[in-house]
Structure 1
Amino acid sequence: MTDVKSQEKADRLKAALKENLKRRKAQARGRQAVKVSGNQAESLSVSAERDKPSD
């Protein structure tokens, strides 16, 4: 009986860890996308300033 319970607990833990890893990877991908889009926006604004005619 104890062996069955410990196996079930191990299976639940394994599933929970797997879901946690998926969630953390998704968060990391989201952060990376924000970082990349932020860098693109920054480079666009810098080039716009550079190309603006001076007075």
Structure 2
Amino acid sequence: MSDVKSQEKADRLKAALKENLKRRKAQARGRQQAGSAASPTREPGASSDRDKPSD
């Protein structure tokens, strides 16, 4: 009996993980498209001129 329950639990976990991965991939694609359309490509964490200290 517990073998059936553990298999059902594993199946539910597998399905949940699969859905989570699909959702994360869709979010990443959306961020990539929005980022490339909104501004020119820039490295994350790259500083701009305004972040440099003045003399």
| TM-score (norm. length: structure 1) | 0.69
Q: How many residues align?
A: 40
The structure with the largest alpha-carbon Rg is 1
- Residue 13 of structure 1 is matched in structure 2 by 13
- Residue 32 of structure 1 is matched in structure 2 by 32
| TM-score (norm. length: structure 2) | 0.69
Answer 1 or 2: higher relative contact order, Cα 8 Å, separation at least 6. 2
State percent identity of aligned pairs: 77
Superposition CA RMSD, Å = 0.9
- Residue 43 of structure 2 is matched in structure 1 by none
Partner of 2:30: helix, strand, or coil? Answer: helix
Unaligned runs of 5+ in 1: 41-55
The structure with the largest helix share of the pair is 1
